[in-house]
Amino acid sequence: MRLPSILAVATIVGAGASLGAWQLSRVGVHQGYAPGQPIAFPHNVHAGENRIPCLYCHYAARTSRHAGIPPASVCMNCHGMLEKQTTEIAKLKEAVQQNRPIAWVKVHNLPDFVYFNHSQHVVSGVACQRCHGPVEQMDRVRQEAPLTMGWCLDCHRERAKLPTLGIQRAALHMTHGSKPTTGLDCASCHY
């Protein structure tokens, strides 16, 4: 009589505590976040159907820590010539005509205490989809990965073991040193 009730209470408390702990571990994790944008830009049309390379618009990802949202002038490289007109394209053209920058909503937010550099990953041959998911299939972009530190390190630890890195490093004429730099040090990202 007594034992089962104690067990039941313990189970409930235990389940509650684990649920709470799990919830706490998800604090600040926004996997699946897919906010609406001022202009409903369909990545599936651009990157999917029309096969525009990611780095055509997000050119800063090649050299900078930020991938950058393309300036409206980059959109107008094509849309200045295309006849297709929708309400969303009209919003873009209106912004350009009125000289008004577009305030997009950031989808992938890292905390301020993390330094992440896109160019380092792009030049090392990490595909955009590896972190951002199949963007070329998304109508509205959502955060595919959890973007937690453990998730970053999963990949970093894997790549530390990959033999291809050695080949890649040889291709880069990097002979100095023995251990591939995969950034497992805290100070690779936290400073």
Partner 1 sequence: MADDSHVTAPKPPIPSPQPSPARRERGLCNPILLSPTGGEGRVRGPVKSAQSGLVRIGERPAPAYWRSVDELRDGPAAAGEFPGGLGKASGSKAAEELTRRDFLSLMGFSMAAVSLAGCRAPVQKAIPLLVGSDQIVPGIARHYATTCAGCPSACSLLVKQRDGRPIKIEGNPQSSLFGGGTCATGQATVLSLYDEGRARGPSWQGKPTSWQELDRRVLDSLRAAEAARGRIVLLSGTLTSPSTRSIVQAWMRRSPNFRHVVYDPVSLSALRKANEQSFGRASIPHYAFDRARVIVALEADFLGTWLSPVEFARQYAASRRREGQQPLHVQLESGLSLTGSNADVRLPLPPSAIGLAALGLLRRVARRAGAGEVPEGPEPFDAKRLDAVADALWENRGQSLVVSGLQDVSVQIVVNALNSLLSNVGKTLDLARPSLQRQGDDAAMAELVDDMNRGRVHTLILYGVNPGYDYSDAAGFLSGLKQVALSVSFADRLDETSSAVHALCPDHHFLEAWGDAEPVHSHFSLSQPLIAPLFDTRAAQESLLRWLGEEKPDYYTYLRDFWRKELYLRQVAMKGFDAFWDRSLEEGVFVPESTEAAGPAEETHFLGGWKAAAQDIVEGSRRAQAGPRGGPYEVHLYESVALRDGRHANNPWLQELPDPVSKVTWGNFAAVAPALAARLGLENGDVVALKSRRGQLELPVLVQPGQAARTVSVALGHGRTRAGKVGLGVGANAFSWAATALGVRRYSASGVTLEKTGRKDPLACTQTHFSMEGRPIALETTVEALREEAAAPREAEVLPSLWAARPGGEHAWGMAIDVNSCIGCSACVVACQAENNVPVVGKDQVQRARAMHWIRIDHYYRGPEDNPASLHQPMMCQHCGNAPCETVCPVLATTTSSEGLNQQVYNRCIGTRYCANNCPYKVRRFNFYDYTQNPKFDFNMTSPLGRMVLNPDVAVRSRGVMEKCSLCVQRIQLAKNDALQGKRELADGDVQTACQQACPAHAIVFGDLKDPESRVSQLRQDPRHYRVLEELGTRPSVGYLKKLRHPEET
Near partner 1 by CB under 8 A: residue from 19, 105, 167, 170 = 105
Residues in the chain: 191
The answer to the question of residue 28 lying near partner 1 (CB under 8 A) is yes
The answer to the question of residue 95 lying near partner 1 (CB under 8 A) is yes
Q: Which amino acid is at 109?
A: N
Q: Which stretch binds partner 1 (CB under 8 A): 1-9, 21-29, 46-54, 80-88?
A: 21-29
The answer to the question of residue 101 lying near partner 1 (CB under 8 A) is yes
CA–CA gap between residue 182 and residue 125 (Å, rounded): 13
Query: What is the four-CA torsion angle of 105, 108, 110, 116, rounded to 10 degrees?
Result: -120
CA–CA gap between residue 72 and residue 18 (Å, rounded): 47
The answer to the question of residue 123 lying near partner 1 (CB under 8 A) is yes
The answer to the question of residue 30 lying near partner 1 (CB under 8 A) is yes
Spell out the long-range contacts of 74-83 with Cβ–Cβ below 8 A and sequence spacing 24 or more: none
Q: Please report where in the chains the tokens 């002979």 appear, as a residue.
A: 175
The DSSP symbol for 135 reads G
The answer to the question of residue 73 lying near partner 1 (CB under 8 A) is yes
Closest to partner 1 by CB, 94 vs 139, is: 94
The answer to the question of residue 167 lying near partner 1 (CB under 8 A) is no
Spell out the long-range contacts of 122-128 with Cβ–Cβ below 8 A and sequence spacing 24 or more: 122/55, 122/61, 122/62, 123/62, 124/168, 125/168, 128/54, 128/61
The answer to the question of residue 83 lying near partner 1 (CB under 8 A) is no
Near partner 1 by CB under 8 A: residue from 7, 12, 49, 100 = 100
The answer to the question of residue 130 lying near partner 1 (CB under 8 A) is no
* Binding interface with partner 1 (CB under 8 A): 23-24, 26-28, 30, 33, 35, 60, 63-66, 68-74, 95-96, 99-106, 109, 111-113, 115, 117, 119-120, 123-124, 172-174, 176-179, 181, 184-188, 190-191
